[in-house]
Chains A and B, each alone.
Chain A
Amino acid sequence: MTQALINGLVLGANYALMALGLTLIFALMGVLNFAHGQLYVLGGFVTYYVFTVMGLPFVVAVLASIVVLAIVGFLFDALFFRRVQQRSAREESSMLLAAGLALLLESLILLGFGEKQRGVALSVSGVYQIFDAYVPASRVVVFVVAMLAVVLFILFMRHTKPGRVLRAIAQDRDVTALQGVNIALYSGVGFAIGSALAGLAGSLLVTIFAVNSGMGTAISIKAFIMVMLGGAGIVSGAIVGAFVLGMVEALGYAFLPGSVTYLVIFVGLILFLVIRPNGIMGKPWG
Chain B
Amino acid sequence: MIRSNQVWAFLILALVYIVGVPFIVESRYILGILASAAGLSIIALGAWLTLAIGRVNLGQGAFALVGGYVVAIATTRWGVSFWLAIVVAGFISAAVGVVLGLGILRLRGVYFAMITLSFTEAVRLALLNGGEFTGGAGGISRIPVPGELSLLGVTIIPAFNSVNTHVASFVLSGVLLALAVLLCWRISACRIGGVFVSMQQSEELAQSVGVNITHLRIVAFGIGSFLGGIGGGYFAAAQQSVYPGGFGVPDSVSLVLYCFLGGIGYVAGPVVGTFLLFLGFQFLQDFQQYQMLAYSLLMVALMIWLPNGVLSLSEAGWIRRYRSQHGQAGAHHAG
Contact = CB atoms under 8 A, between A and B. Distances in A.
A262 B300 CA distance: 32
Contact of B125 (A26, A101, A110, A266): A266
A97 B309 CA distance: 12
Contacts of A228: 110-111, 114
Contacts of B16: none
A259 B129 contact: yes
Interface in A85-139: 87-90, 92-93, 95-97, 99-101, 103-104, 106-108, 110-111
Contacts of B296: 100-101, 103-104, 106-107
Give the interface size bracket for A toward B. Answer: 35 or more
Contact of B122 (A80, A92, A270): A270
B84 interface: no
Contact of A260 (B51, B117, B129): B129
B290 A90 contact: no
B264 A100 contact: no
Interface stretch (B170-178, B217-225, B249-257): B249-257
A95 B295 CA distance: 18
23 contacts: A30-B109, A80-B304, A89-B265, A93-B307, A96-B257, A97-B300, A99-B253, A101-B296, A101-B300, A103-B296, A104-B293, A107-B295, A111-B289, A111-B293, A217-B249, A260-B125, A263-B129, A266-B122, A270-B118, A270-B119, A273-B111, A273-B115, A274-B115
Given A111-B289, A217-B250, A270 B115 contact: yes
A257 B280 CA distance: 41
A106 B296 CA distance: 9
A84 B122 contact: no
A95 B299 contact: no
Interface in A185-217: 217
B128 interface: yes
Interface string A252-278: 000000111011001101100110010
Contacts of B110: 26, 30, 32, 95, 228, 232
| 10 nearest A-B pairs in the assembled complex, by CB-CB distance | A88-B307, A104-B296, A263-B125, A266-B122, A107-B292, A103-B296, A107-B293, A274-B103, A100-B299, A266-B118
B278 interface: no
Given A32-B110, A96-B253, A110-B292, 8 more contacts: A80-B303, A84-B304, A88-B308, A92-B56, A107-B292, A232-B111, A259-B128, A269-B118
Contacts of B249: 217, 221
B114 A273 contact: yes
B118 A32 contact: no
Given A221-B121, A273-B107, A34 B56 contact: no
A233 B2 CA distance: 44
Nearest to A266: B122
Interface of B: 51, 56, 103-104, 107, 109-111, 113-115, 117-119, 121-122, 125-126, 128-129, 249-250, 253, 256-257, 260, 264-265, 289-290, 292-293, 295-297, 299-300, 303-304, 307-308
A184 B308 CA distance: 22
Contacts, number: 125
A107 B284 CA distance: 14
B304 A111 contact: no
Contact of B292 (A93, A103, A221): A103
Contacts of A99: 253, 257
Contacts of B307: 83-84, 87-89, 93
Looking at chain B's contact residues, the main secondary structure is: helix
B303 A90 contact: no
Contact of B121 (A87, A97, A266, A273): A266
Contacts of A104: 293, 296-297, 299-300
A194 to B, nearest CB: 15
Contact of A89 (B103, B122, B293, B308): B308
A259 B129 CA distance: 7
A93 B262 CA distance: 12
B256 A96 contact: yes
Nearest to B56: A92
A224 interface: yes
Contacts of A111: 289-290, 293
A96 B125 contact: no
A93 B260 contact: yes
B299 A221 contact: no
Contacts of B56: 92, 95
A93 to B, nearest CB: 5
A182 B127 CA distance: 50
A260 B265 CA distance: 40
Contacts of A100: 257, 296, 299-300, 303
A32 B114 contact: yes
Contacts of B119: 266, 270
A91 to B, nearest CB: 8
Contacts of A106: 292, 296
Nearest to A271: B103
A270 B300 CA distance: 31
Contact of A224 (B51, B117, B308): B117
B104 A96 contact: no
B99 to A, nearest CB: 12
A232 B119 CA distance: 18
Which of A26, A80, A228 has the most chain B CB within a 10 Å cutoff? A228
